[in-house]
Structure 1
Amino acid sequence: MGKSLLEQLPEIVKAGKRQAQQILEQLEGNNRVGLQTRELVIPSRDTAGLYSSGHTPDVVPEHPNRLIYGDNLLAMAALLAGDENTPSLRDKIALIYIDPPYDSKADYRSKISLPRAELSQLSTTLEQFAYSDTWRNGTASYLQMLVPRLVLMRELLAERGSFYVHLDWHVGPYVKIVLDEVFGRENFVREIVWAFDTKSGYKSAVSNWVRSHDTIFYYAKSTRGRRFTKQYTPYDERYLQRFKKDDGDGRLYRDDRGSGVKQYLDELKGVPVGDVWGDIPSFQQNATAAEYLGYSTQKPASLLRRIILASSEPGDIVADFFGGSGTTAATAEELARRWVTSDFGKPATMITRKRLVDADAKPFLYQAIGDYQVEQARSALGRKFRVGDLSQTVLDIYGALPLPPAENVNGSLGRSADGRQLIVVESPSRLTTLSSLRRAQGYRDGKLGGFDKVVVLGWNFVADIGKTIELLDDPALDVRVIPPDLLDQLKKKGKEGLTGNIRFSTLQYLSAHLETRVIAEATEDLQIRLDNYVLLDPQAINLNEANRETLLEIMNAEPLALIEYWAVDPDYDGELFRSVWQDYRGNTANDADPLRVVTDASLTVERLDRERRICVRAVDVFGFESEVVLSIPAAER
């Protein structure tokens, strides 16, 4: 008989602390995790009949608001390390709220509504692996996931900082024990009960006490000097009716206590909020609420508003590392707090970005984990892994034979079984660019007397790689994507279980052009039009066969209907994409169509007497990203 969870807990906590300590020790080294900025979002959504004219900040603030896509363990490691552009957030965050998943039976499917069809998509395989890892051995695995993350969160908290974790009965009691170990039992402040009413009919059929609450554990980094502002709710009408008397100056008071001392109504703040919150409805009760986005784990803004007002001040940094639909970030923005939020799911980060643009938020960074595959490889193959070893593994899985050592650059070159194709495996720590493809063409023509064709297998690509491939116009060049979950699958199934069973898919591709340009004395009016979008190979998307057939029909009939979000940087510097115009499905302020984006962007921008580079970036409904860069001659005087 195996150990009980209670017996496993000491080792789980010890191992989690050890893992966190290893991460902390690497913060100063060459292997520290970094963040790659994918977009500086300057919210300016397209609106019917109006030109958009965004202001591009000259510099990014020292502690910018951030939306981060990727594993929150790596995101927190990067925030602790800091980089040359932004300092470390260690001891800088005033408030952390998290709402981690706590149901092992979660449904991975998400609904994607398209014109004339609705698709049911599983989460990406990478997200599924992460979630299945979390629950592989039940609650024990869940706690193993959580412990190192809790340790890093404590490192990020300011000395007066507060930590709230939102849970239910599945894991709450066990997490409480872990929290006492990480934060110190003496720093446990309060158990809050969020009591939501459950009057819906199906609940009445449950043969048990009807579940009607969640639990929020509230800890301080240190109870000495912790920041807290008491919150109040309004008095009820019966109590207010006691204030009937007036001194003649309009101020109401009561003196019905028999003591002769007057109590003025305008001096009272309300009823102090206790630790049972029964005044905030859940979306089960209020599914038609304007703020509800249909996101399964979404929490009401009023819940976050209470926590943020109580445990932070304007200008403080608020963080949520299980960001979901972005409620914490959106509420922090509304309350003049700075914020950091991250999530491992592409749907979550897409929803959050749109939500913040829709709220006309201050400029924020959309970031991803830099060298993400390198970090995965270290996790799967050990911290001392070599890129050459990984390349050989990919070649084996693809079914290629390695070239002789004298001809094999870093172990990254192989040949097909028939000897006619050269296979090139790109490094996980590099972007595949134009120079990468030209180098591969050179290998094809020069290695071992030449090959008929070269196949480039890449991990990470420059966003305009589709345009690059088109310009090369080389039918003997094939570029394919290494599945992002390959290392996770390798960790679980081994190389032998994957060989011949992995699909290396083709790339997605966006095209656009400058429709009109009107040059004035100090400004230019630009109209950019989307032409076409070619989706990543549908076989690489987690759909059943019927949904895949439907998707193919839409791809052929109306490819631009697959775009979820697109944005424009009218003066792209080749490094940081600054979006000053955005449109997205659900933005009905322009065309009243919630299932399509507009296909034209109209902007009024500062006149340039040099070449203008316009970058157009799009994200499709599955989260895949593409871009195209348009080079426009200097405006003539």
Structure 2
Amino acid sequence: MPKSLLEQLPEIVANGRKQAEKILEGLESRQRVRLQTRELVLPARDAAAQDWVTAQKRAAQREVFAPGQTSLLHNPQAMLGDGAQTSAAEAPWTNRLIYGDNLLAMAALLAGDEHTPSLRGKVDLIYIDPPFDSKADYRTKVSLPGVELEQKPTVIEQFAYSDTWSDGTASYLAMITPRLVLMRELLADTGSIYVHLDWHVGHYVKLVMDEVFGKRNFRNEIVWHYSGWNKQLQSSFEKRHDTLFLYGKTDVQYFASYFEQWESKDEYVKKRKQKVLFDSDGRDYVLSDAGNGERIKRYLDEVMKEGVVVDDVWHIDKLNNSAKESVGYSTQKTKELLGRIVLASCPENGLIADFFGGSGTTAATAEDLNRRWITSDIGKPAAMIMRKRLIDQESKPFLYQAIGDYQVEAAKVALGRDFRIGDLSQIVLSLYGALPLPPDVNPQRNLGHIAGMELGGKRGSKTLVLADSPNKLTGTATLKKAIAQRDNLMGGWDRVVVLGWNFEPSIGETITALNDARLEVLVIPPDLMDKLKKKGGIDKLRGQVRFSSLQYLTLHPVQRIRSTLNADEEALNVRLKNYVLLSPEAINLDDANRAKLQAVANAEPLALIEYWAVDPDYDGQVFRSVWQDYRGNTANDADTLRVVTHAHLTLPLKAGPRKVCVRVVDVFGFEAEVVSTVESAA
């Protein structure tokens, strides 16, 4: 007879602790998880206004991000938030939006690196709103001009959700336990954590939290009561509340009493059930018990100023879809709800973390209330929504980061932590249909050939295949080496195929410049290791893996024009020309939706762009976006389904060439970049 959930719980918690302990033990190793900074976002959503770079109110911050100060930009604490307190030995702080598995994100935050100190014991408040309904629909609707597509979650997202619910509540608890352990490690001794759930898994998670944080550190079970539509009651009362469990890390937890203002004198009198009296000058008051049997006067105008202490039942409405703050995210919470949590449990300038970021309400609220923040999500749509929302809010500059070496971490899970990169290359070659070359010419085990002709003599089969490493960027050097091996190795080959995981931003330009018809560059599916884990082996996966072509961006010639009004300024004009989508086969669409997508891509390719940004002084390492546009940004135009295709930037005059980088993100979250070196302003 299978064990009940209650019987399984001790084992679930023990295994979760072991998983977290292995991560903590690996924090000092050379192979520790790192974060890659994909973009330094300096919000400037209005192209008609003077852009961020020349804005007087941020002149001091411009110095922080000046070209040449790369070391600061690599430091994820390279921006001093307004009023933030830092010691002389401590670098300023930069807020962070992280795309990827939160378990790996937390491991990277705990580890730190040569640019970033560990955040162990540094977080003042953690709020999480994890998925808690296994029947939730995680499909994403993508609106394009004249058509609406329905995209299923990426395979990475699907695996995350299916792992979460594969064995019902038991697997959900197995998912959440190690994450709660790492969250406790991140919390400051004075810190607090709020876990937002409902009746599906709420009180099972409370049992886990009692084990992780200690029953003595439980503070409140908060009931968030909200209004809703009346339903016909058949077998139960209507469900109209969620639950938030509040725990401290220690008994010295920071907490600020929170008061609500009375809406009116009538509300106060009605709730207190007291009689209103008037003194000789007509001033209204009530008689209240002082606690020792004495009755004292309480004037209502003074009572109204004092407010009422908030209890653990919060009557706050859910978000109305037509509300100004709505971003169209199904589980979006309100700023009113998060604001109450932040004001009560995080000091001003304190640090807040949300590892199930969703719509970004935690980060947006932290911006409003002068708190620092970190947020992450494994969903690409969520990451895109959060980035746009924070730009729209004109937030302080923030880092957009991703998990470094995600494929390596996934391979450790699928193949064991002792795997070698060569093992992974062999798997990739096999799934592409290539046989390995002999060891004497293939010491790294990353070269193969397409079966069809026997090896022997001077020549083997016609196609050479190179599987590049997941912990490096495939770029110019790799492609030139592959071409040289094609022409010289074992007497030469007719063509070479390079399979890459991660690519240099300028890879499209590199391929164009090489202009080699006998070179093909394909993308290894980023979810390959997750598929391997789920399918149970290479044989079951063979024939089901698609290696896709790269997406790429082209521009019209970038113009630099010296200002006729200000001798110290110049204008930069950037115009998008074309965008070629990554193979639609790699996107999780059914046939009907894929056909609709192809029609839009053929007719209006730039309509596929969700977001684009410009770095006018790209250093080749960190992309600093000082101008952005995105679909739905009505500051630039009234078209909510298209981006503007022309950027005009006013910049300080610069002698010599500018290295201009343009980055686009399409509606499915795929990125492309182009770098253009532009000579002095005319």
Q: TM-score range by the shorter chain?
A: over 0.9
Matched, 1:401 2:445: no
Deviation of 1:205 (Å): 6.7
Matched, 1:254 2:285: yes
Pairing 1:199-598 to 2, within 5 Å after superposition: 199-200=229-230, 203-204=231-232, 208-239=236-267, 254=285, 256-257=287-288, 259=295, 261-263=297-299, 265-266=301-302, 268-278=305-315, 280-283=316-319, 286-418=320-452, 419-493=461-535, 494-520=537-563, 521-598=567-644
Letter in 1 for 2:481: R
CA contact (8 A) 2:286 2:300 kept: no
Separation in structure 2 between the aligned mates of residue 240 and residue 134 of structure 1, nearest angstrom: 46
CA contact (8 A) 1:530 1:599 kept: yes
The residue that corresponds to 1:610 in the other structure is 656
Separation in structure 1 between the aligned mates of residue 486 and residue 237 of structure 2, nearest angstrom: 69
Specify every segment of 5 or more residues in structure 1 that has no aligned partner in the other structure, as ranges: none
Separation in structure 2 between the aligned mates of residue 580 and residue 244 of structure 1, nearest angstrom: 62
Residues 617 and 196 of structure 1: CA distance in aligned 2, closer, same or farther (over 3 Å): same
The residue that corresponds to 1:625 in the other structure is 671
SS at match of 1:76: helix
CA contact (8 A) 1:506 1:536 kept: yes
Separation in structure 2 between the aligned mates of residue 577 and residue 106 of structure 1, nearest angstrom: 36
CA contact (8 A) 1:63 1:86 kept: no
Deviation of 1:460 (Å): 0.7
Deviation of 1:230 (Å): 2.4
CA contact (8 A) 2:222 2:314 kept: yes
Separation in structure 2 between the aligned mates of residue 454 and residue 502 of structure 1, nearest angstrom: 19
Residue in structure 2 matching 1:123, options 143, 147, 153: 153
CA contact (8 A) 1:231 1:310 kept: no
TM-score (norm 2): 0.89
Separation in structure 1 between the aligned mates of residue 443 and residue 53 of structure 2, nearest angstrom: 46
Separation in structure 1 between the aligned mates of residue 241 and residue 379 of structure 2, nearest angstrom: 26
Separation in structure 1 between the aligned mates of residue 418 and residue 648 of structure 2, nearest angstrom: 51
SS at match of 1:111: strand
Separation in structure 1 between the aligned mates of residue 471 and residue 325 of structure 2, nearest angstrom: 40
Deviation of 1:437 (Å): 0.8
CA contact (8 A) 2:277 2:286 kept: no
Residue in structure 1 matching 2:93, options 39, 60, 63: 63
SS at match of 2:190: strand
SS at match of 1:75: helix
CA contact (8 A) 1:98 1:164 kept: yes
* Percent identical residues: 58
Separation in structure 1 between the aligned mates of residue 639 and residue 491 of structure 2, nearest angstrom: 57
TM-score (norm 1): 0.95
Separation in structure 1 between the aligned mates of residue 244 and residue 24 of structure 2, nearest angstrom: 28
Deviation of 1:263 (Å): 3.8
Matched, 1:8 2:2: no
CA contact (8 A) 1:193 1:214 kept: yes
Residues 246 and 325 of structure 1: CA distance in aligned 2, closer, same or farther (over 3 Å): farther
Letter in 1 for 2:51: S
Residues 315 and 452 of structure 1: CA distance in aligned 2, closer, same or farther (over 3 Å): same
Deviation of 1:417 (Å): 1.1
SS at match of 2:232: helix
Deviation of 1:206 (Å): 6.1
Separation in structure 2 between the aligned mates of residue 163 and residue 550 of structure 1, nearest angstrom: 45
Specify every segment of 5 or more residues in structure 2 that has no aligned partner in the other structure, as ranges: 55-61, 66-71, 73-77, 80-91, 270-274, 289-293, 453-460
Q: Which moved more, 1:269-278 or 1:384-393?
A: 269-278
| Cα distance per residue 1:329-356 (max 9 Å; x no partner) | 0001110000000000000000000000
Deviation of 1:236 (Å): 3.6
Q: Which moved more, 1:261-270 or 1:471-480?
A: 261-270
SS at match of 2:548: coil
Letter in 2 for 1:454: V
Deviation of 1:253 (Å): 5.9
Matched, 1:145 2:198: no
| Cα distance per residue 1:350-401 (max 9 Å; x no partner) | 0000000000000000000111111111111111110011111111111111
| Cα distance per residue 1:290-332 (max 9 Å; x no partner) | 1112211111111101100110111000110000010000001
CA contact (8 A) 1:68 1:366 kept: yes
Separation in structure 2 between the aligned mates of residue 387 and residue 565 of structure 1, nearest angstrom: 34
Pairing 1:99-138 to 2, within 5 Å after superposition: 99-138=129-168
SS at match of 2:306: coil
Residue in structure 2 matching 1:159, options 189, 192, 202: 189
Letter in 2 for 1:512: L
Deviation of 1:256 (Å): 4.0
Separation in structure 1 between the aligned mates of residue 140 and residue 469 of structure 2, nearest angstrom: 32
Residues 383 and 293 of structure 1: CA distance in aligned 2, closer, same or farther (over 3 Å): same
Residues 522 and 206 of structure 1: CA distance in aligned 2, closer, same or farther (over 3 Å): farther
CA contact (8 A) 2:421 2:469 kept: yes
RMSD: 1.9
Deviation of 1:108 (Å): 2.7
Deviation of 1:270 (Å): 1.1
SS at match of 1:576: coil
Deviation of 1:515 (Å): 4.6
CA contact (8 A) 2:532 2:538 kept: yes
Separation in structure 1 between the aligned mates of residue 45 and residue 493 of structure 2, nearest angstrom: 49
Deviation of 1:617 (Å): 0.3
Separation in structure 1 between the aligned mates of residue 19 and residue 374 of structure 2, nearest angstrom: 23
SS at match of 2:444: helix
* Count of residues paired in the alignment: 628
CA contact (8 A) 1:161 1:227 kept: no
